[in-house]
């Protein structure tokens, strides 16, 4: 059974594994104050071309989202998210459990736009409702789409004009930045968002996300919030070493590119067989629509999610590629699709 179910089925990239093994018996400071975390932050800041940001390493995406959003908001304030947004759909109400409502907006392609934000502001007018304060987006989105620079600039502008915070979930940022259609640089996010995170878990690391806080007003005492939420890892070096390897050279982007290249092979092969897609996603997540009988046959050999039923005879499946997906495996999948 070969898994195309997600991009975290395997362990870690061999270069990361080698670095962890090499440093295993070294003693270091705890809680992210070790030399590896310090060096990793330095390398990331160089890539961001911005030294005026705070960087925190947090074990997972859900912990990063709930820790950040809960810290950034006052008790009566809420987040705005697409109806497909991770904080709305797939985090077991983590944000709501901290006392902050998530206001969802129906979107077709996973992306929030200016008009969506303005519509929420128009509906929430006084103290009898929660106050929208933070706009949550994902890049790439939960359905594989990506933000173009003009779209992010427009969102950033409407947030600043209305005193809103713009927060970006970058769990799959590596794939987003390596898409052929992408016109954003990783350095752009420090100017266009108040905070965002760089995903490691879904881009070749065992675990870990690098939260980047850009807005000076959000920086104070943030480590207190990480500790209170149970996300301040005692052996913080494990995160620092991984991000040091990801950003020492170009590994972070090489991993994202490989995942996209494998998805492109699948996308081209599936299209050539005449199949359509639920959504036009250029990243490492693709959503082909297949006959249910074909899906059942493929499930004998491959693991993947059935994403949505499109009619009584057809469904959309989600295929996800990663740093470890082999060209032989995706070519074999296409051959097996010719049934």
Q: Is 54 helix (H, G, I), strand (E, B) or coil?
A: strand
Residues 53 and 214 sit within 8 Å (Cβ to Cβ): yes
Sequence spans of domains, the chain: 2-6+252-337, 14-249
Q: Does domain 14-249 have CATH number 3.40.50.1000?
A: no
Tell me, what's the pLDDT at 123?
Answer: 97
- Give tens-digit pLDDT for 160-216: 999 999 999 999 999 999 999 999 999 999 999 999 999 999 999 999 999 999 999
Indicate the fold that domain 2-6+252-337 takes in CATH: 3.90.1150
Q: What is the dihedral of CA 42, 15, 34, 225, to 10 degrees?
A: 80
11-39 exposure pattern, b = at least 16 Cβ within 10 A, e = fewer? ebbebbeebbeebeeeeeeeebebebbeb
Strands across the sheet with 165-169, in order? 54-58, 209-213, 195-199, 165-169, 131-138, 77-82, 102-105
- Give tens-digit pLDDT for 269-321: 999 999 999 999 999 999 999 999 999 999 999 999 999 999 999 999 999 99
Tell me, what's the pLDDT at 91?
Answer: 96
Q: Tell me what the pLDDT averaged over the chain comes to.
A: 97
Q: What is the dihedral of CA 20, 23, 28, 33, to 10 degrees?
A: -40
- Give tens-digit pLDDT for 137-152: 999 999 999 999 999 9
Q: Is the pLDDT of residue 339 over 80?
A: no
Q: Do strands 131-138 and 289-291 pair parallel, antiparallel, or not at all (unpaired)?
A: unpaired
Q: Higher-confidence residue: 339 or 250? A: 250
High-pLDDT (> 70) share of the chain, %:
100
């Amino acid at each position: 059974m070969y898994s195309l179910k997600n991009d975290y089925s395997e362990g870690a990239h061999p270069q990361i594994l080698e670095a962890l093994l090499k440093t295993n018996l070294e003693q270091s400071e705890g809680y992210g104050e070790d030399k590896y975390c310090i060096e990793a932050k330095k390398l990331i800041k160089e890539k961001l071309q911005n030294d005026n940001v705070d960087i925190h390493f947090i074990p997972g995406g859900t912990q990063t989202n709930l820790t950040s959003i809960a810290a950034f908001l006052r008790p009566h304030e809420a987040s705005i998210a697409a109806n497909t947004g991770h904080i709305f759909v797939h985090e077991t109400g983590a944000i709501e459990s901290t006392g902050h409502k998530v206001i969802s907006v129906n979107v077709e392609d996973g992306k929030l736009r200016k008009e969506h934000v303005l519509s929420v502001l128009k509906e929430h007018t006084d103290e009898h409702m929660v106050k929208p304060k933070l706009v949550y987006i994902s890049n790439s989105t939960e359905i594989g789409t990506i933000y173009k620079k003009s779209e992010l600039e427009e969102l950033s502008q409407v947030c600043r004009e209305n005193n809103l915070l713009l927060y970006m979930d970058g769990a799959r940022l590596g794939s987003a930045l390596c898409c052929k259609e992408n016109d954003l640089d990783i350095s752009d996010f420090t100017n266009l968002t108040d905070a965002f995170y760089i995903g490691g878990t879904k881009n070749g690391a065992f675990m870990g996300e690098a939260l980047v806080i850009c807005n000076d007003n959000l920086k104070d005492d943030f480590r207190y919030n990480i500790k209170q939420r149970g996300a301040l890892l005692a052996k913080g070096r494990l995160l620092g070493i991984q991000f040091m390897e990801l950003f020492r050279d170009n590994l972070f982007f090489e991993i994202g590119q490989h995942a996209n290249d494998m998805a492109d092979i699948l996308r081209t092969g599936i299209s050539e067989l005449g199949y359509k897609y639920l959504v036009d996603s250029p990243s490492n997540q693709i959503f082909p629509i297949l006959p249910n009988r074909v899906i059942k046959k493929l499930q004998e050999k491959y693991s993947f999610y059935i994403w949505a039923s499109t009619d009584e005879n057809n469904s959309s499946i989600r295929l996800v590629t990663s740093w470890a997906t082999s060209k032989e495996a995706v070519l074999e999948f296409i051959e097996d699709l010719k049934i």
